[in-house]
Chain A
Amino acid sequence: MARKEYSFYPGCSSERKASASNYMTSVESMCKTLDIKLNEIPDWNCCGASIGYAEGGELPRHVMNARNEALSEKHNAGQDIVATCAACWLGAKESQERINHSETTFADINEILKEAGLKYEGKQKIRHMVEVLIEDLGYEELGKPVKKPLEGIKIAGYVGCQTNRPFGVDGESFENPKYLDKLTETMGAQALDKYEQKVTCCGGALAFSEPEKSQVQIKKIIESAYDHGADMIVTPCPVCQMNVEVYQGQINKKYGTKFKIPVVYYSQLMAVAYGATAKEAALDGNIIRATQLEEIAAKK
């Protein structure tokens, strides 16, 4: 039996050959080391993401999340739901709050779910993977399996928005959350405690529809990391990771900057520190390679 077990909601970007497939691979490696078992919710669907509201409206959006929860309650009874994606976590949690708060919505949702033979109870707690790591295991436990401390690497902890607001992690502030820095340091790397763009928005889904405006945001996030001497940026969110990594070329072209900074997931840092190979930590999934991590992963 595994030390901890959860009902797992991976989300669309974590699928094979999707934009955060490297997040998923490194989470698997990290969880294996920590003896955490993730029971995937069978046939889960999209949460509606942060852009779903415009066409989807309110009730249809909640239905998307209620279906996942109903499936989780049916197949993974008694377990907390864990999401790795910030938007999935937020969408699911927000819908649960809204449905449970209103008797009418609760009744509507169950009436609608009947179409698929499902029933919503809204009793499972919905949590982000970092919450599980920090609250259920704690920094000390997370530090125990470290085989290769990430010594000498300076890392800007970019928390972003949706892992941080509106719900956030218990005991952390919205303006200056420390958990990502603490995780980084637990892995033996150096966190940049003066990194002031830690909770700046990367533009989210508007990186697609309003690229110029979003790239102004992304530029700030990267510039500040460089200003503080970062070797790389770490983030807990797939949208942050993608936006901050993949547009660096376009920003360089437009602003004459020379950005080329790796943007990794906390799970990649942890996997490498726990002794995973570069492949297990999905370092081959980074477009801007994190060579310092690759070197550590290659060491015997």
Chain B
Amino acid sequence: MTDINKAMVEKYRNDFLKEVEANVEQGDWVKMCMQCGVCSGSCPLGAAWEHPPQEIFMMIRAGKRDEVLKSESMWMCTSCYNCIVRCPRELPITHIMHGLANYAHRIGIAPKMNPTRRFAKMFWKNITAGGRVNELKLSVGLYFMDGFASGIKKGLEMLPVGLGMLKTGRLNPFGLISGGHCKGAGDIRKMIKKAKEIEDKRKGYTA
């Protein structure tokens, strides 16, 4: 168990709802859910969720901490916002799902091998390095996420797509050495660092 996770378990004991309200983005909305299920029925990847949003909300109230935070479910969110606009109680469901995924990741108990978690990590690293997305680095990084051999295989599968993008001028062939840079990249990194410090302090992740 990671230290932060341990500290959180001790701090909130059996009150998982309270933990979510205090630490998860928009988490104070969770108690407003009336279990109608429109969110679950509206999700484009609904079938892929082990526990759809409606179920997650009930599980939070039932104190199923591990089952929720270790779940792959929230990582299936495509950010389509269908659940948000359809929720009769106007819960910001998309953001709550993002928030739960982020929290589980932050305290180190999110599913390690979940591809979206790993891709999201690479994405954030990519954009905060130079301030803008470097698309070639991002895709190459994604293909080689599971090592060299599988990277070559995935790269070959994606080759027709890559060549199509290259031929139409939509991929920078020199992307591995250039691209995606703001002049203020240094400032951006400094600001992100500070923002993380403030957020961590607020949420009690640091002493």
A residues at B contact (CB < 8 Å): 12-13, 15-22, 43-46, 48-60, 62-64, 67, 108, 111-113, 115-116, 161-162, 165-166, 168, 174, 200-201, 203-206, 208-210, 213-214, 217, 246-247, 249-250, 284-287
| A13 with B161, Cβ < 8 A, contacts A45-B188, A59-B195, A63-B195 known | no
Cross-chain contact B45 with A45 (CB below 8 angstroms): no
Q: Which residues of the partner chain A approach B81 to less than 8 Å between Cβ atoms?
A: 161-162, 165-166
Contact with A along B114-151 (1 / 0, CB 8 A): 01111111011101100111010001001000000000
Judging by beta carbons under 8 Å apart, are B78 and A206 in contact?
yes
Chain B residues positioned under 8 Å from A51 (CB to CB): 79, 116, 119-120, 123
> Which residues of chain B have C-beta atoms less than 8 A from A19's C-beta?
135, 165, 170-171
A-B contact pairs, 23 of them (CB 8 A): A12-B133, A12-B135, A12-B180, A19-B165, A19-B170, A21-B170, A22-B168, A44-B182, A48-B127, A49-B133, A52-B124, A54-B105, A54-B120, A55-B121, A64-B127, A112-B191, A116-B188, A209-B115, A210-B116, A217-B44, A284-B168, A285-B168, A287-B167
- A49 and B184 within 8 A (CB): no
A246 touching B80 in the complex, CB below 8 Å, given contacts A52-B120, A54-B124: no
Inter-chain contacts of A205 with B (CB < 8 A):
78-79, 116, 119-120, 123
A155 to B111 Cα, complex, angstroms: 42
**Contact across chains for A210 and B115 when beta carbons are under 8 A apart:** yes
Contacts of B101 in A (CB 8 A): 53-54
Please report the C-alpha to C-alpha distance between residue A60 and residue B123 in the assembled complex, in whole angstroms: 14
Q: Which of B102-116 contact A (CB under 8 A)?
A: 102, 105-106, 115-116
When the two chains form their complex, are residues A165 and B123 in contact, meaning their CB atoms are under 8 A apart? Answer: no
A266 to B171, CA, bound (A): 21
Known contacts A67-B188, A205-B119, A59 near B198 by CB under 8 Å: yes
Interface size on B, residues (CB 8 A): 66
Distance, CA A207 to CA B160, complexed state (A): 16
Whether A108 contacts B105 by the Cβ 8 Å rule is no
Q: Which residues of A contact B192 (CB under 8 A)?
A: 56, 60, 63-64
Chain A residues with CB below 8 A from B199, complex form: 57-60
Are A12 and B123 neighbours in the complex by a CB distance under 8 Å? no
B86, B116, B125, B164: which contacts A246 (Cβ < 8 A)? B164
**Bound-complex Cα distance A277 to B128 (A):** 38
Nearest A residue to B117 by beta-carbon distance?
A54
Of A51, A113, A168, A285, which is in contact with the most chain B CB atoms at under 10 Å from its CB? A51
Minimum Cβ distance to chain B for residue A43 (Å): 5
Q: For B190, what are the chain A residues with a Cβ–Cβ distance below 8 Å? A: 115-116
What CA separation (Å) do A105 and B199 show in the bound complex?
10
A58 CA to B84 CA, complexed, in Å: 18
Complex contact A49–B116 (CB within 8 A): no
B80 touching A54, Cβ below 8 Å: no
Which residues of the other chain, A, contact B157 by a CB distance below 8 angstroms? 250
B153 on the interface (CB 8 Å rule)?
A: no
Whether B44 lies near A200 (C-beta < 8 A) is yes
Q: How far is the CA of A118 from the CA of B165 in the complex (A)?
A: 37
B103 to chain A: closest residue by CB: A57
- Are A166 and B84 in contact (CB-based, < 8 A)? yes
B17, CB-defined interface residue at 8 Å: no
Given A59-B198, A209-B118, A43-B182 contact (CB < 8 Å) = yes
Chain B residues positioned under 8 Å from A54 (CB to CB): 98, 101-102, 105, 116-117, 120-121, 124
Which of B98, B120, B195 is most buried by chain A, counting CB atoms within 10 A of its CB? B195
3 closest pairs, A vs B, by CB? Answer: A54-B120, A50-B79, A55-B124
Q: How far is the CB of B69 from chain A (nearest CB, A)?
A: 14
A-B contact sample (16 more), CB < 8 A, given A56-B102, A58-B25, A213-B76: A15-B132, A19-B170, A22-B168, A43-B131, A43-B182, A54-B105, A54-B124, A55-B125, A59-B196, A108-B195, A115-B191, A116-B187, A174-B86, A201-B45, A209-B142, A249-B161
